[in-house]
Structure 1
Amino acid sequence: MLIGQNICPIFVSRKIIEKMNNKVEYSYEEAVQQARDYFRGDELAATVWVSKYALKDSWGKIFENSPEQMHERIASELARIEAKYPNPLKKEDIMELLLDFKYVVPQGGPMTGVGNDLQIASLSNCFVIGHERPADSYGGIIRIDEEQVQLMKRRGGVGHDLSHIRPTGSPVLNSALTSTGIVPFMERYSNSTREVAQDGRRGALMLSLSIKHPDAERFIDAKTTQGKVTGANVSVKIDDEFMRAVVENRSYNQQFPIVGDEPMFKNTIDARTLWNKIIHNAWQSAEPGILFWDTIIRESIPDCYADLGFVTVSTNPCGEIPLCPYDSCRLMAINLYSYVENPFTKKAKFNKELFKEHVRKAMRLMDDIIDLELEKVHMILEKIGTDPEADDIRRVERQLWEKIARKALQGRRAGLGITAEGDMLAALGLRYGTPEALEFAVEIQKTLALEAYRSSVEMAAERGAFEMYDTERERNNPMIARIREAEPELYATMEKVGRRNVAMLTIAPTGTTSLMTQTTSGIEPVFMPVYKRRRKVNPSDKDVKVTFVDEVGDSWEEYNVFHHKFKTWLHINGYDFSKMSDDEIDEAVEKSPYHKATSNDIDWVSKVRMQGAIQKWVDHSISVTVNLPEDVDEELVAQVYLTAWQEGCKGVTVYRDGSRAGVLVKKDSGEKQGVLPNKRPESLEADVVRFKNGKEEWIAFVGLYNGIPYEIFTGKKEEDTLYIPPRVTKGRIIKVLEADGAKRYDFQYDDKYGYTNTIGGISRLFDEGFWNYAKLISGVLRNAMPITDVVNLVTSLRLDSETINTWKNGVARALYKYIPNGTKAKGGTVCPECGQESLQYQEGCLVCTSCGHSKCG
């Protein structure tokens, strides 16, 4: 059972009920229709907005049918907070920034939660948790697990570090005698993440570990086993000493604890051997990510206050916000494209003065959202106080939110960033990746940083500095030094009055935000200016052009999808995209500023250098992925990581095209499964798969040849004829010849005492119709059709019997688990949540690798 943030509470406050009664409710279809008009026919933007951001209560009832209503809700709340302080922004000023997603876009939690009193959830996008003093014990480990779940149920992504857990084989003072190391706890935290539903998607988790930890290699390898740690991103924290050891090809010392002169455990390794392991796994499966930890700590302004509890320990799930334990962050993006006047013309110009004004206002709104978050935390604490559980059960959750509130108040951390970098550059006639584009991008980020800090200093004079502010503590920080050099007067004022926020800048991935702004995402270039998408069609329908028929006979129609701003370029340059042939589209792309400027076109060196240069003006970090062609070798991945370290990046992730497809699978299985034997072996290993169809208990026996499904027997479980202990998940299917020459199939399993038990004739225990169809499907399996196609074939069957239709749904459910992790969805691979072409199977469930959206809830 999923633990969901929107599960109806047993006790609902009278205030919430009254607010619900005073609101107009819309059906999903009504809201999508109105939002579609708002987004000028953009179906994906409309459905994502309604599903993710429209005002809802805990039952999923929808109370907004247009983003304009959402902006009205957000602006009203922000204006209410502004009115508490001198020189407040008026509601109409805030609406001007928010409307049409044109200039300032709150992201995720703030867009959903500001002004929503119908749900009790946090506004924070992300949290990091941990112990202020290392707690290397079961109690400490379980406490983190519980806190992680409590945060995820309130909509937050979570990160935490595992470096405090003792390595494998270390002595422990309990009945285990030695430690199991970190990998079992990675799996625990991963499973907890998968159990928490967040309104149509699973929670997001980052697990990190220091390269200095003796279990670093096990950590790096943990996700290479199918089905392991599927609910978490993993990143290894690499220090400068390790990188120098790699470059100089020498040894490196690991120890536990990772800090201290008297470790209880020491280990000397060859640095390059472990480095090659990291590179191989990243080349193969895009993980682990890399965090250059010394760079992060060296540049971190909050770590100037480490002794006051602000020591950075890990990052949020996407890596753009390094945080100390129990700190949190809220995100907001500025749409860079909207500051380009006369885009895609020779008169194109960036309105820097308007940009500066809006950055200062956006920073004020970010600070207002901190106040709104503190109000939300107060609501959460009130809810906990009225919960019916015993106080000792509620204590952990209450103390967690009290610590989060305290950290938010102490540092007032913010997360102001950008989106539409790629479109801004294209609109100005600059090709992403060129020296000219890099120089301009850095100048814009520098301007943003200086104006954001100027606004924070102005707020310190009006509202008060964050409570720990100390000029002397920060004097030698590199980020502060750059501000001092660029703006001496700003720094002098900051010395006198302080700063409102301890840190305030980031560049996050803006998947769904970019759908709303209809621009490129974050700092990234355009994915593709135009691409083809498929939709399943009925060949007999009118006005349908069947362009593709798949392996199971389904018909698909292909159509072109144009990037919104590429359509703007086409319009400005006199093209009618609705009438263009494929050849004409290709010619237009070559003439546009998007030519050779897509995510797969950009030279990796240019992208890494751009990240490193922009990072100098971002006090948190940047979430960016270096995309590489499928045919690159591991040495190139190593060069990307090494260059990123040398250029001053705080972290880096690579994605080699196709690297997630067909990897992380069982040995000798996967898409390249080869030919299976036509003659059935006398005995096959078998999995037992239990599931429910409605209220009925069903069971399946899946015969496996080298781990690949070869045959299936499934149907409704009858207690009197087919009892197998719940703990039994594996056994053998034996073909037995009977005296009259007939054959049957028996299932054998070993009980807990080691005795072999046999259930005779499983082929006859199920309905005869089930068995006939099972023989047909087993024949398809034996001809090595990929499991994805087998499942599609089974689900596409249209049978007259309701009983058989129920049965075939059970067959599909039983086979889903054998689809190799990383297999891309067929036909429509676009995520309905973030719009990226990144839907892949993970443990039989379609999951978006960009935003975490899951069709399994």
Structure 2
Amino acid sequence: MKAELANTSLKTYTQDEAFNASLEYFKNDDLAARVWLNKYALKDSDGNLYELTPNDMHRRIAKEIARIEVKYAKPFSEDEIFNLIKDFKYIVPQGSPMAGIGNPYQIASLSNCFVIGNSGESDSYGGIMKIDQEQVQLMKRRGGVGHDLSHIRPKGSAVKNSALTSTGIVPFMERYSNSTREVAQDGRRGALMLSVSINHPDSEDFINAKLEQGKVTGANVSVRIDNDFMEAVKNGGDYIQKYPIFSDSPKVSKTIEATSLWKKIVHNAWKSAEPGILFWDTIINESVPDCYADLGYKTVSTNPCGEIPLCPYDSCRLLAINLFSYVENPFTAHAKFNFELFKKHVAAAQRIMDDIIDLELEKIDKILEKIDADPEMDEVKSIERNLWVNIQKKAKEGRRTGVGITGEGDMLAALGIRYGSEEGNAFSLEVHKTLAIAAYRASVHLAKERGAFGVFDAEREKNNPFINRLKEADSQLYYEMLEYGRRNIALLTIAPTGTTSLMTQTTSGIEPVFMPVYKRRRKVNPNDKDVRVDFVDEVGDSWEEYVVFHHRFKQWMEVNNIDTSKNYSQDELDGLIKKSPYYKATSNDVDWLSKVSMQGAIQKWVDHSISVTINLPSDVSEELVGELYLKAWEVGCKGVTVYRDGSRSGVLISNEEKKEAPAEETLTTFPTKRPQILEADVVRFQNNKEKWIAFIGLIDGKPYEIFTGLADDEDGILIPRWANNGLIIKNRNEDGTKRYDFQYKNKRGYKTTIEGLSHKFNPEYWNYAKLISSTLRHGMPIDKIVDLINSLQLDSESINTWKNGVGRALKRYVEDGTQAKGQHCDNCKSENLIYQEGCLTCKDCGSSKCG
């Protein structure tokens, strides 16, 4: 592969060339240009850029899809495909397909999400480890992963090993979470969904697992709730939990008060935004693939955002249709939605998605070739190889697709319809019903041309509620499906479109606009000519405030001849919003019960699920959260998540003033006396081509002390690369002086001790390490310690390198979501920076900086 790539004569571009060109493409939208360049522009591992603007990317994608098209009847041409996907106007492949189609520089999957797991065997340690390895192998190929933990026996169950009893679910949640945090995906972290059935005796422990800060930070968690539990909640009755779940002859059985556990779920969601809820009976009863459950298509969990319920080893690729682009004469009295063009493009999108499955099968062949060529022993590679063989089988046999939408909020505004109103909900329902019928008709026509999915059986599907709704809405479609079958086992979803909506420059997915207009700041030199200084910060830096309009709000202004270049006051902005179709239609304005009802109605026409979060102000009650959850179940939602402003510690909150907690409440409490033995992490990093190492002593997983320095110094410490943890032991020398030893186990389990960490590093490092350790032991928050380290004024170049190294090591322990105050994004200058995996990540543009 390397030799093949080395001989290519593709034109390359500098970062500046590509950024300036893409900035012009996005009409000076700095954020969209940065996101495209960082995430989706074609580049190799050396950083060479092969695409100048998204036009090049769209041509790359069109060329590959056209290559697949010629295998089938009546193929689309490359230009036809290009015109459908160019400018992010109509059809938008999302995430992995956008980055991976036609990309020869990555051996990666085109799938956005996977579910793994099996029934009985994974309850053993070997099965649990197998799932762990499969999760990591998928994440390194760029996929998000979900799996269910309901098969793990509850805490205290008898096991036939030295432990005698099971530890239950929670320790394995930590294992899978930690594995996610370890995997890098082209500069981003892996994504994981963990679920468990409410019927499991450990479900309350699962529900509580994330309440403790720093626990299970690498996973989203959702609880699978069945109808019997919900009925018991409504009626104040009891509920029986079992293991195995729903067994007629369980090994463990206990009766609980349903409302008590329900209140715990509601309280935790109100307090920390988790767990999410999956209404499992609704998912299974409505699922078309579950008509083939006995053939391996039994749904067991969902992808990380919950919009794709999947069976083990199935996968899905995502594509969004930009609803805003089907509004003719937007923001005028003559605005209308072009349903005929929409139906035509839905059919094209479904066809393109089926082509992408063929491209994915080719990618899996490449992955299998890579695995076979790797030098490891076959027994080492067997789990990874079998994993991809299983995924390939499901993708080829079921041919599942994930056609969705974006821009719903802007579509309604462009039509002059208020999001969340009865009229808005009714129109959205009509659009999604149209989409479902058009996509299923396209899949039937594809089956006629290309053949039905491998296990299609109309008899199996005859009682499925979703299929019967299609039959009632369009009997001709139904009878054609009986005759020709269907190309794809399931077709539709509504995913969070995230960065996709930044490039379509629309609202995200099914959501309303977050804010139609807001203000940002940029640093300025007060001595420059014609500069305006609106704000001077505490260190004396000058800032100019400027208005940022949501793109379609700005389009509304232009249509109505309102000046978009003026620097409006806040009162003037409020007045503009009041005149606009976005008035009382933002995420904070929309009636929450109305939004849940809208989701339930639309869900009837989405065969997978809908990813949606109900954003609530900070002062809502727990009772309201419970009411929303109950309403979601009653109206037929498959899942629901709430986020109350400020509920998750460290997550960015709104600009409204809030009373700060006393400073001492933010401090970590440690023992007053240093324990003799501490668990320890070993952190390796590189600065200026030098290898560094840090030993970080931990109490309850939180840093308590640190020893760090050069790993390859003449007097430095050399330990095996695989030794990532151990113990720091406080000892005494023969003369009575203190020393700190590090002990780790070698691969045979024998203990190896390195004596005197304090004497292995340069004394100057040791003195500063004592200073940092002292602040750690007094419970100062890690992000504040990192700021302290960065502020040290040191003359020695080597000590400055040490400063960078120890700061980088400690950043790993900053709680994800912690806001970084007083810093600004290098890309978009936003102050909305948080720590994620020890890296500063911009919440506005998604750029990340480590080190």
Same fold (TM over 0.5): yes
Partner in structure 1 of residue 75 of structure 2: 88
Which of residues 620, 624, 633 in structure 2 aligns to 1:645? 633
Offset at residue 671 of structure 1 (A): 6.7
Higher mean C-alpha displacement, 384-393 vs 364-373: 384-393
Assess if the C-alpha contact under 8 Å between 1:200 and 1:853 holds in 2. no
Cα contact 2:354–2:399 (8 A) shared by 1 = yes
Equivalent of residue 598 in structure 2, options 584, 588, 610: 610
Go from structure 1 to structure 2 and tell me whether the alpha carbon gap of 1:512 and 1:390 turns closer, same or farther (over 3 Å shift). same
CA contact (8 A) 2:693 2:708 kept: yes
Task: Work out which of the residue numbers 245, 249, 264 in structure 2 matches 1:262.
Answer: 249
User: Which of 528, 539, 550 does residue 563 from structure 1 map onto?
Assistant: 550
**Secondary structure, aligned partner of 2:153:** coil
After TM superposition, give the deviation of residue 205 of structure 1 in Å: 0.9
Q: Matched residues in 2 for 1:703 and 1:214: separation?
A: 32
Cα pair 1:122 1:373 within 8 Å, conserved: yes
Choose 790-799 or 310-319, whichever is displaced more. 790-799
Deviation of the 1:845 alpha carbon:
3.9
Q: 1:238 to 1:807 in 2, by over 3 A?
A: same
Instruction: Give the Cα–Cα distance (whole angstroms) in 2 for the partners of residues 489 and 197 of structure 1.
Output: 49
Paired AA for residue 651 in structure 1: G
Note the C-alpha offset of 1:772: 8.4
Distance 1:539 1:800, change over 3 A: farther
Give the direction of change, closer, same or farther, for the CA distance of 1:119–1:781 in structure 2 (3 Å limit). closer
CA-CA distance at 1:560 after TM superposition: 2.2
Shift of 1:809: 2.7
* 1:437 is the counterpart of 2:424: yes
Quick one: structure 1 residues 352 and 262, their matched pair in 2 at CA, closer, same or farther if it must change by over 3 Å?
same
Is the Cα contact below 8 Å between 1:684 and 1:733 reproduced in 2? no
Q: Distance in 2 between matches of 1:849 and 1:212?
A: 37
Of 204, 211, 226, the match for 2:213: 226
Q: 1:272 to 1:674 in 2, by over 3 A?
A: same
Match of residue 627 from structure 1: 615
The amino acid of 1:588's aligned partner reads L
Alignment RMSD: 3.9
Could you say if the C-alpha distance between residues 682 and 517 of structure 1 is closer, same or farther in structure 2, counting changes exceeding 3 Å? closer
Alpha-carbon shift at residue 565 of structure 1 (Å): 0.7
1:311 aligns with 2:298: yes
Task: Answer yes or no: is 1:654 the counterpart of 2:642.
Answer: yes
The alpha-carbon deviation at position 199 of structure 1 amounts to: 0.5
What secondary structure sits across from 1:259 in the alignment?
Answer: coil
Q: Which residues in structure 2 correspond to 1:119-158 (within 5 Å)?
A: 119-131=106-118, 133-158=120-145
SS class of match (2:145):
strand
The answer as to whether partners of 2:682 and 2:694 remain within 8 angstroms in 1 is yes
2:374 corresponds to 1:387: yes
Equivalent residue letter for 2:28: G
Q: Choose the corresponding residue for 2:487, options 500, 514, 519.
A: 500
Equivalent residues in 2 for 1:250-649, closer than 5 Å: 250-536=237-523, 545-548=532-535, 556-582=543-569, 583-649=571-637
Q: What is the letter of the counterpart of residue 507 of structure 1? A: I
Whole-Å Cα distance in 1 between the matches of residues 202 and 738 of structure 2? 44
* AA of the residue aligned to 1:138: Y
Q: Which structure 2 residue ranges, 5 or more long, are not aligned?
A: 653-659, 745-752
**CA–CA separation in structure 1 for the residues paired with 2:412 and 2:429:** 12
2:748 maps to none
What does residue 824 of structure 1 align with? 819
Q: Could you tell me which runs of 5 or more consecutive residues in structure 1 were left unpaired when the two chains were aligned.
A: 1-11, 665-669, 735-744
Q: Who is 2:663 aligned against?
A: 673
- Contact 2:307/2:495, CA 8 A, preserved across alignment: yes
1:805 alignment counterpart: 800
- CA shift in 2, pair 1:269/1:454, >3 Å: same
2-structure distance, mates of 1:703, 1:305? 49
Q: Paired residue for 1:5?
A: none
**Cα displacement (A) at 1:61:** 2.5
> Cα gap change, 1:195/1:690 in structure 2, threshold over 3 Å: closer, same or farther?
closer
CA distance in 2, matches of 1:277, 1:348: 47
- C-alpha contact (below 8 Å) 1:212/1:258 kept by paired residues: yes
CA contact (8 A) 2:518 2:549 kept: yes
Structure 1 position 657, deviation (Å): 0.8
Deviations 1:559-602 (A, max 9, x none): 32211111111111222222132232221111111122111221
One-letter amino acid of the counterpart of residue 200, structure 1: G
Residues 1:551 and 1:241: Cα distance change in structure 2 (over 3 Å): farther
Aligned to 1:742: none
Aligned partners of 1:45 and 1:515 also within 8 Å: yes
Q: Distance in 2 between matches of 1:804 and 1:543?
A: 42
* Contact 2:107-2:363 at 8 Å conserved across structures: yes
Counterpart residue identity of residue 488, structure 1: S
CA contact (8 A) 2:707 2:758 kept: yes
What residue number does 2:747 align with? none
Alpha-carbon shift at residue 457 of structure 1 (Å): 0.9
User: For 2:590, what is the secondary structure of its paired residue?
Assistant: coil
Q: 1:474 to 1:710 in 2, by over 3 A?
A: closer
Find the aligned partners of 2:847 and 2:305 in 1 and give their Cα distance.
14
Q: Is the 8 A contact 1:38 1:66 kept in 2?
A: yes
Aligned residue type for 2:44: D
Of 817, 841, 853, the match for 2:835: 841
**1:267 positional shift:** 1.6
Query: What is the Cα deviation at residue 468 of structure 1?
Result: 1.3
Match of 1:740 in 2: none
Distance 1:700 1:249 in 2: 53
> What is the CA-CA distance between 1:385 and the residue it aligns to?
2.1
CA distance in 2, matches of 1:135, 1:810: 40
CA shift in 2, pair 1:780/1:141, >3 Å? closer
Separation in 1, partners of 2:545, 2:254: 57
Residue deviations 1:738-792 (CA, integer Å, cap 9, x gap): xxxxxxx97779999xxxx9x99989997569858987x8999999986545534
Bigger shift: residues 202-211 or 113-122: 113-122
Q: Cα 1:581–1:806, aligned 2, differ >3 Å: closer, same or farther?
A: same
How far, CA to CA, are the matches of 2:48 and 2:761 in structure 1?
A: 45
CA deviation map 1:79-125 (0-9, x unaligned): 12222212222222211111111000001111111122332111111
Contact 2:790 2:807 in 1 (8 A): yes
Secondary structure at 2:393 match in 1: helix
Report SS of the residue matched to 2:554.
helix
Q: In 2, distance between residues paired with 1:830 and 1:620?
A: 37
For the Cα contact (< 8 Å) 1:202–1:853, is it kept in 2? no
Q: 1:138 to 1:733 in 2, by over 3 A?
A: closer
Local SS of the residue matching 1:223: coil
TM-score (norm 2): 0.88
Cα 1:819–1:187 shift into 2, 3 Å: closer
Deviation, 1:198, is 0.7
Q: Relative to structure 1, is the Cα distance of residues 139 and 529 closer, same or farther in structure 2, using a 3 angstrom cutoff?
A: same
**Counterpart for residue 750 of structure 2:** none
* Cα distance in 1 between the residues matched to 2:458 and 2:844: 40
How far apart, in 2, do the equivalents of 1:720 and 1:40 lie? Answer: 57
Map of 1:105-184 to 2, 5 A cutoff? 105-131=92-118, 133-184=120-171
- TM-aligned CA distance change 1:603 to 1:162, over 3 Å: same
Aligned to 2:656: none
CA distance in 2, matches of 1:96, 1:790: 53
CA distance in 2, matches of 1:149, 1:531: 40
